[in-house]
Amino acid sequence: MADPYRIVVTGATRGIGRSLAEGFAQAGHTVYGCGRDQDAIAELAEQFPAPNHWTALDVTDPAAVEGWVTSVLSEGGAPDFLINNAAVINRRAPLWEVPEEEFAQLFEVNVLAVSRLMRAFLPAMIERGKGIVINLSSGSGRMGIAEMAPYCATKWAIEGLSKSVAQEVPDGLAVIPLSPGTVNTEMLRSIWDEAAKKQPTPEKWAQKAVPYILKLTPEDNGQSLTVQG
């Protein structure tokens, strides 16, 4: 294998994020993973010890994020991949029945935190002259879905945010909105129930997603991509 990559993964304690983090680590890459579940972080640290790093972190906490990014950068410089995966979803309901605080929380996690992580890591990646930012999008960010307006709105925002920043970064870098396709995650089951259970598990999905992501290049900058199941 070529030199291992340094890969940052947010929301690494469950679902898609955890399967990606585990897949990258199993492939010999160095993973800097964060998530809110301290028990899951401890499990990952035991399963994939140094040089991997696992941190209990809430991406909506600016001070905590700043400290974590400083630690990651001081450890070995800019990452090769920044994967913004952490996200939450709304309960299914018409927009007028979704409390404003729930709507705001989705934007805090799904959009503002992504922007925060990009602002924190991109200067170092630009100085290094290379690096790929992957912002997990969704088919919900490319079409409307009844009773999912808040979540769809955040993922449409990720598409626009990613495509705009893609035009701002210099050659050698890429910013890519990536839809994982449909995966049987806890989050999907919370809204689709039995239909979600018919989809591939995160572990099975990651068998295709990990090599797919590692093959992305600056030529993919700004493209809306999808992991094909």
Catalytic residues: 151
User: Using CA atoms, how far apart are residues 158 and 224, in angstroms rounded to an integer?
Assistant: 10
DSSP 38-95: HHHHHHHHHHS-TTSEEEE--TT-HHHHHHHHHHHHHHHSS-SEEEE-----PPS--G
Could you list the beta-strand ranges (E) of the chain: 6-9, 30-35, 53-56, 81-84, 131-136, 173-179, 225-226
Q: Which two tokens stand for residue 142?
A: 């490319």
Q: Are the C-beta atoms of 52 and 31 separated by less than 8 Å?
A: yes
Alpha-carbon distance 50 to 65, whole Å?
Answer: 21
Distance between CA atoms of 106 and 151, rounded to whole angstroms?
Answer: 7
Q: What is the b/e burial string over 143-159, where b = at least 16 CB atoms within 10 angstroms of the residue's CB?
A: eeeebbbbbbbbbbbbb
Distance CA 210, CA 20 (A): 6
